[in-house]
Amino acid sequence: MALRAFTHRAGKAVIRKIAVLSLLLLVASGCDSGTPLFDVKAVAAGAASLAPFFDESGGLGRDADVRSRPARGGLQQGDTPGLYGGTDEAAICDVEQLKRYLAEPRNDRKARAWAGALDLRTDGIPEYLDGLTPVLLRHDTLVRNHDYKKGKAVPFNALLQAGIAILVDEQGMPTVKCSCGNPLRPFEGDKSRISVSFDDGNEKWKGYDPSEVVVVRPASHELERIALVDVEDPDRGVERPVGTTGEEDTAFDTRKRQAVPSLIGTTFGEASRRLAGRGLAVAYGGKEPPPDGARVTASDPAAGAELRFGAHVTLSVVENTGRSGGGTTPPDPESSRPTTTPASSSSPSAPSSPSAPSSPSAPSPPSTSSSGPSKSERPASPSGTPEATSPPADSTPPPLPSTASGPPPSTRSTPPETPETTSAPPRTAPPPPTGRPASGAPATSVPATSEAPTTSAPAERPRRTRE
């Protein structure tokens, strides 16, 4: 009996141990099945940093009271209309004062740490700051923040509350937290696997929703203007030129609807730019945006639908399969869209070099473009005629005996010493090449130095007035 009771107790103990081990293995396997959690520190609007680059009481920036807005998906491109907010009050960031702080000799070590965090040289700080634009966050936003400790910039993942004033660069990326001057870099983790800690005076703010947290990715091109929404009046939009602090803002009505342009056949990058130009945002499936060169196959809503400012258009794309063209995009059919594309791509029959003069001896239009493309020309229309791009010197007929009148004295001709051969017909000239007259334009019919349209210089970006 004693042996049986001992065996029964031992069996129960073994079963309990097995159950505990199984539970531990299950938990461990569940934790390892996904990516590890990313520790993130919450940074509330108006809360002082523990180790800032500069004292927050110095007036470098001022946060606002803004309720985080719902976002379509976790990733937002830097040119998304309405991603950031503005206000018509005094400047929210004192960029000139930050520039002075970083230039002071006593802050030399701090300036070197600040520049290093942003991959800059210290002598490039003033020019870099001149290209930044102050905005207000309209979403709780993940970034890579930096404290200043023991002479070094110490990075950490941070969740910045909506309403915090920041500086963004020419691709719409957060770069500086205004109130303390801390440099910012992109968050590189998985937003669905974050663990946010609310401490050190950063209380969990009202309305915080983990599903509304956003991560900003660079726009596919450098921006000239940023479309903001007035945080105090959402019906009022603000267009702010990049590199200005609000003195050149222009207002617009966010309630005005814009039609979705025709996007099928364009690249994802081009479609994103066209939508942003109309105040519309781009949406897509998946956790990461498609490559810029992916071709758009459909949009939802379709072309022609009228949407309010900031509304999203979902794009369906297919990635390129190595077709020739290197991922170039077709010309924009929307003539109202402000671009730098020349008008020469609007018609396949238009000459690719409209400013090149025609030769007096050229009897047909093809000779107007026989000078070929130059480095300063825009790309010709994809459907242009081959005669418009082939060098005329290589297309002259081979030297043959001719009974026709010789070429004009000013043109290059076959050397007179060329003997007649018995292989050619004795007294008949060969038929002219297709697409050229019998007395085809000689190689010098268009001067080699004919002027071609040069690419216009980009509009000079308004710069901040230095004090």
Q: What is the pLDDT of residues 87-114, one digit of tens each?
A: 877 679 999 999 999 999 999 999 999 9
Instruction: Kindly state whether residue 218 falls inside one of the protein's structural domains.
Output: yes
Which of 73-82, 151-160, 367-376, 457-466 holds the top average pLDDT?
151-160
Query: Does residue 233 share a domain with residue 89?
Result: yes
Domain-ending residue, one of 220, 255, 290: 255
pLDDT value for 17: 61
Domain-ending residue, one of 229, 255, 281: 255
pLDDT value for 285: 75
pLDDT value for 74: 81
Instruction: Kindly state whether residue 11 falls inside one of the protein's structural domains.
Output: no
Q: Which residue has the higher pLDDT, 426 or 294?
A: 294
The mean pLDDT of 449-462, rounded to a whole number, is 43
Q: Which residues of 352-384 are buried (b: 16+ CB within 10 A; e: fewer)?
A: bbeebebbeebeeebbbbbbbeeeebbebbeeb
Domain-ending residue, one of 240, 255, 270: 255
- Which residue is it, tokens 């010098």? 444
- What does the DSSP 8-state code read for residue 109? H
- Taking Cα atoms as reference points, which of 92, 45, 49 lies closest to residue 66? 45
Query: Does residue 138 share a domain with residue 109?
Result: yes
Query: Does residue 185 share a domain with residue 94?
Result: yes
- Taking Cα atoms as reference points, which of 164, 218, 159, 147 lies closest to residue 194? 159
Amino acid at 350: A
Domain total of the chain: 2
d(CA 394, CA 443): 8
Query: Does residue 137 share a domain with residue 165?
Result: yes
- Which residue is it, tokens 């609310």? 198
In this structure, the number of other CB atoms found within 10 A of the CB of residue 153 comes to 21
Instruction: Kindly state whether residue 267 falls inside one of the protein's structural domains.
Output: yes
Domain range for 151 is: 38-255
Query: Does residue 264 share a domain with residue 309?
Result: yes
> pLDDT tier at 127 (50, 70, 90 boundaries)?
very high
Query: Does residue 236 share a domain with residue 145?
Result: yes
CATH code for position 317: 3.30.10.20
**CA atoms within a 13 Å half-sphere pointing along the CA-CB vector of 399:** 10
Phi, psi of 2 (to 5 degrees): -65, -40
- Which residue is it, tokens 């509350």? 161
Instruction: Kindly state whether residue 167 falls inside one of the protein's structural domains.
Output: yes
Query: Does residue 263 share a domain with residue 209?
Result: no
**Tokens read off for 249:** 């803002």
Query: Does residue 229 share a domain with residue 191?
Result: yes
Q: Tell me the three state secondary structure of residue 165.
A: strand
374-409 tens-digit pLDDT:
433 334 333 343 443 444 444 444 444 444 444 444
- Which residue is it, tokens 């010709």? 380
Amino acid at 286: G
Instruction: Kindly state whether residue 130 falls inside one of the protein's structural domains.
Output: yes
pLDDT value for 72: 78
210-226 tens-digit pLDDT:
988 999 999 989 999 99
Q: Which residue has the higher pLDDT, 130 or 6?
A: 130
Pairing of strands 295-300, 281-283: unpaired
Query: Does residue 102 share a domain with residue 156?
Result: yes
pLDDT value for 345: 37
269-314 tens-digit pLDDT:
999 999 999 999 998 877 788 899 999 999 999 999 999 999 999 9
Average pLDDT, the chain: 74
Instruction: Kindly state whether residue 92 falls inside one of the protein's structural domains.
Output: yes
Instruction: Kindly state whether residue 453 falls inside one of the protein's structural domains.
Output: no
Beta carbons within 8 Å of 121's beta carbon, 6+ residues apart: 115
**CA atoms within a 13 Å half-sphere pointing along the CA-CB vector of 296:** 31
User: Above pLDDT 70, what percent of the chain?
Assistant: 61
- Taking Cα atoms as reference points, which of 440, 83, 77 lies closest to residue 288? 77
Q: Tell me the three state secondary structure of residue 160.
A: strand
244-272 tens-digit pLDDT:
998 899 999 999 999 999 999 999 999 99
> pLDDT tier at 22 (50, 70, 90 boundaries)?
low
Query: Does residue 263 share a domain with residue 184?
Result: no
Query: Does residue 233 share a domain with residue 265?
Result: no
pLDDT value for 135: 97
Beta carbons within 8 Å of 377's beta carbon, 6+ residues apart: 352, 353, 452, 453
Amino acid at 40: V
Instruction: Kindly state whether residue 17 falls inside one of the protein's structural domains.
Output: no
Query: Does residue 297 share a domain with residue 244?
Result: no
